[in-house]
Structure 1
Amino acid sequence: MMPACTVPKVILYAKKNGVNPSGNSTNPSNWDFSSSFFFASTVITTIGYGNLSPSTVSGQVFCVFYAFCGIPLNLAFFKQLGKCFTIHLGRLEKGLVSVVPHKQAFEAVAASLFFIAGTFLFLVIPPLLFSYVEGWTYGEGFYFAFITLSTIGFGDYVVGTNPGKTYIYLYRSVAGIWIIFGLAWLALIFNMAASIMEHVLDQTYPSLRKQREAENMPSSEIEATSKI
């Protein structure tokens, strides 16, 4: 007879490897395409829930190299996606500059609309879906969304891990795509907020702007300015 102290370990090991301890059936593989895509998304975004991880030496070695190459590439992707959003906002600004008399007013309205639309798309609507599919409350769904997009990733709430539910095949893949584009939107929001704060500081403290311009100015221009 198996000692009682080893029973929980056996149950945890069985569940980790896809065996349903409550019956004779088995759960879908932990490493099907949808789960693997979701895992890959959490690696390159540095979220790392911890509920799924490679258990073989070869898988761990590959994961190290994948993260080593994937994280910088993902940051570059975020940067390019932010530039793409900025370009489209600039084109929209040029198209509507004749309608809006003040450029700064248009920029404030555009930034507000971008923030509101992104908030609904990435932080308000997804928790509704997670609550419906996972059986969570809306607060738990919003908590999961915030912890995910902030890259904290506690792992106490993770989508697609309830053994008592049957999920759509691409459910976790769609969640992985939501993570990637949600992080890109959040990064752009942070960049816009930093630009706004910088502009406010420039208007409040002109000396700071002159100092920053002097620091960014090439040495040849600094010498020419000093001679003048």
Structure 2
Amino acid sequence: MRKVTLISLLVVFVGYIFAGGGIFHWLEADEEEKLRAELFQTQDELLYTLERMVGSHDIHACHHGTTSESSSHAPGLDCPVQDCVSPENVTLVLQSVVTDVNKRGENLTRQGKCIKTIDMPLLVLTHRQLDDIILNAHQAGRRGLNPLSTQQNSSPPQWSFIPAVGFSLTLVTTIGYGNIAPSTWAGKALCVVYGLIGIPIYLVILDGVGRLPGGLVRDLAVRMYISKGWNANTVKRVIWFCLFTFGLFLFYLLPALIISLVENWAYLESLYYMFVSLSTIGFGDYVAGVQIGKSYWVAYKILIFFWIASGLAFLAMVFDLLKRGIQGLDDPDKTEYNLPKTNGRQEKAHNNVNGAVGQAQADAKSENSDYIYENMAMDKMQ
């Protein structure tokens, strides 16, 4: 692929990613705000109920003692249906609940510290209310919102413009962490169309960028062989080693260090996250930039996008080298082919003859030898 074509595709790809981020933001942001509002309302209602139930007591008083949990079992019920209670047994059930709450309250009073409001043993929810809370928490988790989020302390919105651009990038690169997904039908339909167009463009760019280092290494090895007589294979291996070391530091080790510091992860966790991301496995168990209560710098998220795009090309280059090395096991003669030790110009010096005819023949032989050696070297680099 020509460099002009590759650069043009890169420009189109960047514009495509930002345009997709803007469209996803427009389609999904309102729905996300509704979900966040519902979760925050549930949290507020629970806190209000808790404060109302405990408000008449001195919850700031400190008590001494030890902590031990115990529970009482409700008496047997005569209801013929498993998930219902007969009117005659409602009082018995409530009495068992009161007995259990009282026992747990007595255990709390033996603690040698102030009792926190959230630890008070109050059973004030119906089974349906509990199901609604679990469902809301599950939906929030699927859409990138930490279920423990509150109005004052929540994980950052996942469908604002910058995170939406990140989603577009993970979509076309097929990473797909799975921590967020469109919830509207328009967003889901856009995912299909956007991926059908964006994924092939990305694969073409990835292939073109992955081939660039190979061509540069091959050209440099040929030049070193022709001008200095160095072994082309040795030159190639040295250059690839330098490129691999530099890329490993720039696209893997350094970003892992930065992410571990920002996200408060262990360095090994960051290395694991890096590999899962760059290999497009994308488990989604670790995702940068979504922790609750953190305010992320915009430049940090942009750096992550740049790292993903460039790191994928680097890892693709590494995988291509490994693939070629494995394939070379079936054709050792080609991979171990040795180029001649002399070039055409050296042969010309040793075969200098008198006369114009002899000189012309030597020049022709030199040019022909250079051409042959260059092609042999290029064949060897393949």
Q: TM-score, normalised by structure 2?
A: 0.49
Residue 17 of structure 1 and its aligned partner are, at CA, apart by 7.5
Contact preservation (8 Å) 2:259, 2:265: yes
Contact preservation (8 Å) 1:41, 1:176: yes
The 2-side partners of 1:152 and 1:43 are apart by 12
Contact preservation (8 Å) 2:210, 2:317: yes
Structure 2 residues not aligned, in runs of 5+: 1-124, 336-382
| Pair 1:125-2:251 in alignment | no
| Correspondent of 2:182 among 41, 44, 54 | 54
Residue 53 of structure 1 and its aligned partner are, at CA, apart by 1.0
The 2-side partners of 1:199 and 1:24 are apart by 59
Partner of 2:192: 64
Q: Which moved more, 1:187-196 or 1:138-147?
A: 187-196
Structure 1 residues not aligned, in runs of 5+: 207-228
The percentage of aligned residue pairs carrying the same residue is 33
**Residue deviations 1:71-92 (CA, integer Å, cap 9, x gap):** 1111101011122222332343
The 1-side partners of 2:251 and 2:296 are apart by 21
Residue 130 of structure 1 and its aligned partner are, at CA, apart by 0.9
Partner of 1:5: 131
The 1-side partners of 2:228 and 2:295 are apart by 52
Residue 134 of structure 1 and its aligned partner are, at CA, apart by 0.4
Residue 66 of structure 1 and its aligned partner are, at CA, apart by 0.6
The 2-side partners of 1:191 and 1:21 are apart by 44
Partner of 1:216: none
Q: Which has the larger radius of gyration?
A: 2
Contact preservation (8 Å) 2:256, 2:270: yes
The 2-side partners of 1:19 and 1:82 are apart by 38
| Correspondent of 1:102 among 222, 231, 248 | 231
| Correspondent of 1:178 among 303, 307, 312 | 307
Q: TM-score, normalised by structure 1?
A: 0.79
Task: Call closer, same or farther: CA 1:194–1:117 in 2, change over 3 Å.
Answer: same
Task: Call closer, same or farther: CA 1:141–1:99 in 2, change over 3 Å.
Answer: farther
| Correspondent of 2:150 among 20, 23, 37 | 23
Partner of 2:161: 33
The 2-side partners of 1:20 and 1:170 are apart by 27
Contact preservation (8 Å) 2:217, 2:240: no
Residue 204 of structure 1 and its aligned partner are, at CA, apart by 5.8
The 1-side partners of 2:220 and 2:162 are apart by 37
Q: CA RMSD in A?
A: 2.6
Task: Call closer, same or farther: CA 1:109–1:205 in 2, change over 3 Å.
Answer: closer
Partner of 1:223: none
The 1-side partners of 2:204 and 2:136 are apart by 43
Residue 27 of structure 1 and its aligned partner are, at CA, apart by 5.0
Q: Name which structure has the greater RCO, CA cutoff 8 Å, separation 6+.
A: 1
